[in-house]
Amino acid sequence: MARRRGFGEVERRKSARGEVTYRARYAMPDGTRYSRTLSTAMDAEAWLVAERTLVDRDEWTPPRARIAAEEKRKAEASSNTFGGFAERYLTERGLRPNTGRHYRHLLDTRILPYFAVMPLSAVTLGDIKTWRAALGPETESTNAAAYRLLRSILTSAEEEELIDRAPPKIRGAGTARVKKVTTPATFDELAVIVEGMPVRLRLFVILAAFVGLREGELLELRRSDIDGLIGRVDIRRKIDKDVIAGAPGACPNCGRSISTPKTAKGIRTVHVPPPFLPMLQRHLLEHAAPGIDGLLFPGERTDHMSVRYLTDQYRSAREAAGRPDLTIHDLRHTALTLAGQHGATAAELQARAGHASQTAMAIYQHATADRDLKLAEAIGETYERWSRSQNEK
């Protein structure tokens, strides 16, 4: 039975399973009725009192509209926490798959456990210093990456005027000491490695060790990117090696994601040292996939080569050379060391490597394809002298 009162009424209700609830309801002057079911009579009475107060203050709006407004307010409040904004930052930036996964890991393991529920405007330099001090010193490189991401998120919040100003930078927090110093490969070691590779992969080692191409760039090179007469190589694309099949931009045959280099500076033109032009030309004739868009290093089904197969072949070759420490990426370090030894300026190294650098930007623009060709010729001359000395032994 409903119990009437000055404003509205409360009705005790019992379900078939014996559960008791209380429905509070009232009518507005236009005859529209509003109700709410609550678990206790006290809660039902309190709701009616609150509704009557809103009517008396001329602040009443339909309960459903108020619920929607409250949900919207909570959503906005959530987006103004560090965690809420960080999620939006991650989804709205159009990140590459690998970068997105890396940022996700940094957020989940390093940043959000400390900052997730903190309002953006409440994050201070002191908070950041305390957070950074709590990170384990054994993961220095990861800690530096986490700090860079944290800074980027806060800077974006400042740009969107969600905070007045991002906290000041902590000098050196975004960099980590280099723990591993790579020893470049010698010509003798490279000769053993090349000889130990399958014939169709020998050029792969040459382009990594003497030109400085990245593994992902090499795996996506096509006939149309190569001028076999002068040894010019245009770097326009790369593959993301661990992207899931079916992802946007994925190769239909292998599931790999094909994208442009990570930065605009990665799009570049480099040259093969002249002594290796016969190998390049022979490779184009005998090992590259057919057609103008045929891959330079195809897999067995003319799609991209398996990274596992490449790594297995390379591992055996480097061990034969006595360099079990030399990764495929270290071959690129060898190439850039050679370029530096042959007089490459900082700008020319930036151009040949495809690195972006704010500090080198001014001189970077003076690097030209003609100078890169001269560098390749100088490296080639040094290699030819070494080769002649080997033949004379």
**Total domains, the chain:** 3
> Within a domain: residue 20?
yes
The whole-angstrom separation of Cα 83 and Cα 157 is 12
Residues 47 and 151 in one domain: no
Q: Which residues are catalytic?
A: 214, 329, 332, 355, 364
Tens of pLDDT along 157-183?
Answer: 999 888 889 999 998 888 877 666 678
Backbone angles phi, psi at 58, to 5 degrees: 60, 35
Task: Count Cβ atoms below 10 Å from residue 149 Cβ, excluding itself.
Answer: 20
85 lies in the same domain as 38: no
Residues 133 and 247 in one domain: no
177: in domain:
no
Residues 299 and 387 in one domain: yes
Q: 39 is in which domain, residue-wise?
A: 2-60
Residue 35 pLDDT exceeds 80: yes
Percent of the chain with pLDDT over 90: 48
Does a structural domain hold residue 182?
no
Residue 42 phi/psi, 5-degree rounding, is -65, -40
Residues 274 and 360 in one domain: yes
Output the pTM of the full model.
0.61
- Whether 110 and 216 map to the same domain: the answer is no
Residues 265, 300, single domain; the answer is yes
Q: Are residues 244 and 316 in the same domain?
A: yes
Residue 175 lies in a domain: no
> Residues 193, 318: contact at Cβ < 8 Å?
yes
Confidence of residue 100 (pLDDT cuts 50, 70, 90): confident
Helix (H) or strand (E) holding 157: helix 140-159
pLDDT tens per residue across span 300-342: 765 889 889 999 999 999 999 999 999 999 999 898 888 888 8
Residue 146 included in any domain: yes
Contacts with 77 (C-beta within 8 Å, 6 or more apart), sequence order: none
Write down the pLDDT at residue 247: 47
**DSSP string covering 77-118:** HHHTBHHHHHHHHHHHS---HHHHHHHHHHIIIIIHHHHTTS
For residue 69, is it within any domain? Answer: no
201 and 292 housed in the same domain: yes
Q: Do 197 and 125 fall within a single domain?
A: no
Considering the domain architecture, whether residues 84 and 56 belong to the same structural domain is answered as no
Q: In this predicted structure, which of 23-27, 52-56, 178-182, 373-377 has the lowest mean pLDDT? A: 178-182
In a domain, 31, yes or no: yes
* Whether residue 138 sits in one domain with residue 46: no
pLDDT, average across residues 355-369:
45
